[in-house]
Amino acid sequence: MTSSFQDLYGHLPETVVQAPGRVNLIGEHTDYNGGFVLPMAIPQQTHIELRKRQDQRVRAFSLNTDHRGEILEYELGHEDRRKGWLDYLQGVTYVLRRAGHSLTGFEVRITSEVPLGSGLSSSASLDVSLLRALRQAFSLPLDDVQIALLGQQVEVDFVGAPVGVMDPMAASIAGVGVALFLDTRDLRFERVPLPPGVDPIVINSGVAHNHSAGDYRVRRAECERAAELLGVKQLRDLTEADLPRAEKLPDPLGRRVRHIVTENARVLATVEALRTGDLPKLGTLFYASHDSQRLDYEVSVPEIDLLVDLGRADPDVYGARLTGGGFGGSVVMLAREGTGVAVAARIAKRYADQSGQRPAILLPQASSGTLSSR
Ligand code: ADP
Ligand code: MG
């Protein structure tokens, strides 16, 4: 059932906006350690249609949830965490009101092509698209970086997912086909185009994660503890010269530090390889990042490792790695130019046969926003 805004609310929307999901090329779990990241927007977006109301009531509908077909409601000023998708909307009005912006109620219809819980940041694309819609509807004086920071607050302060700033920054300012090289400590960024000769591919493993779940939180706490024991503000402040000292920390803290420090170095090396068009080097960095996530940071799962191994065995693949927070989600691969569609299809087929999962393929440079499911 695809009820239109008119079907749901009896009139047309006033505001129609969207924001994309993202694929992170490299730099995983570095954002909450003040480090470097390299995400890229994907063509898949979250679309918002919205109309203001005279009263304080918010009425919301999403085509992408189990509540399909049902309008959920709350009152502005009475945001109350319920542990469901409405929390993202309640979080948005909560952080806007807390920052002193005045709103009235509104009606909203949400549709998204970004798969939920697949490491492609559906939640930030929802936060940012709704913030954009409210900025437009209520003429809020917010720039794109402020939108991203508010998006992060939605998840950290309201939803209870202690995420870093990468996802909302990517949803708010990244472009398709261009990597966003972002320093999460001071939010300085630079756009780095992908070199010719490479087709990026994303394969969603079909294993969904949940970021507000314990594991992500545990990794964050481990990083904070390690930074405290090593006497630095953030793990970003360490270099490879500090690793012998870090490796003396009680396990697994030493391994967690090693991942963050080497991953930061890999982001810098990847930016350099993108600039020089060194595709074999990019591939080596991708596999090294994956191994670090698997062994040192322990955020991979067997299905994701299988996808990466299928990449390793494929002559047309330069490199592959888990993308996003992990514990499921998606793999990003770099294939030889012109082979992306065929490579993705054969790897997804082998993966489906061996794992019994239902993968989905996404080509992040394609102009169409459709996901192809097998
Ligand atoms: P990711 O951001 O990697 O996709 P998260 O666990 O951070 O995964 O966010 C997924 C959650 O965000 C969903 O469970 C849902 O609550 C919310 N969400 C994302 N997109 C939508 C949408 N289009 N409609 C309703 N809720 C959504
Ligand atoms: Mg998310």
Q: Distance between CA 156 and CA 360 in Å, rounded?
A: 29
Tokens at residue 179, please? Answer: 């990597």
Please tell me whether the interface predicted TM-score (ipTM) of this complex is above 0.95.
yes
121 CA → ligand 2 middle, Å: 4
Which DSSP string corresponds to 221-244?
A: HHHHHHHHHHT-SSGGG--GGGHH
Determine the residue type at 257: V
Residue nearest to atom 18 of ligand 1 (CA): 123
Atom of ligand 1 nearest to the CA of 212: 6
Tokens at residue 25, please? Answer: 């090329």
Instruction: Judge whether residue 318 has pLDDT over 50.
Output: yes
> In this predicted structure, what is the pLDDT of residue 214?
84
> In this predicted structure, what is the pLDDT of residue 1?
59
Ion ligand 2 — residues with CB under 5 Å? 123
Convert the pLDDT of each residue in 102-139 to its tens digit: 999 999 999 999 999 999 999 999 999 999 999 999 99
Global pTM reads 0.95
Average pLDDT of every residue of the chain: 95
Catalytically active residues, by annotation: 167
Residues with CB under 6 A from ligand 1: 46, 62, 64-65, 85, 88, 110, 112, 116-123, 126, 161, 210-211, 324
Ligand with an atom nearest the CA of residue 164: 2
Q: Distance between CA 115 and CA 122 in Å, rounded?
A: 6
Residues 6+ positions from 170 with CB-CB distance below 8 Å:
20, 22, 24, 39, 40, 41, 121, 124, 180
> In this predicted structure, what is the pLDDT of residue 212?
46
Atom of ligand 1 nearest to the CA of 111: 23
How far from 265 is each of 36, 179, 180, 285, CA to CA, in Å?
9, 17, 16, 10
Residues 33/234, Cβ–Cβ less than 8 Å: yes
Tokens at residue 174, please? Answer: 């990244």
Convert the pLDDT of each residue in 173-216 to its tens digit: 999 989 999 999 999 999 999 999 999 999 999 998 765 468 99
Which DSSP helix (H) or strand (E) runs through 246?
A: helix 243-246
Atom of ligand 1 nearest to the CA of 84: 16
Instruction: Judge whether residue 2 has pLDDT over 80.
Output: no
Residues 256/33, Cβ–Cβ less than 8 Å: no
117 CA → ligand 2 middle, Å: 7
pLDDT band at 68 (very low <50, low <70, confident <90, very high): low
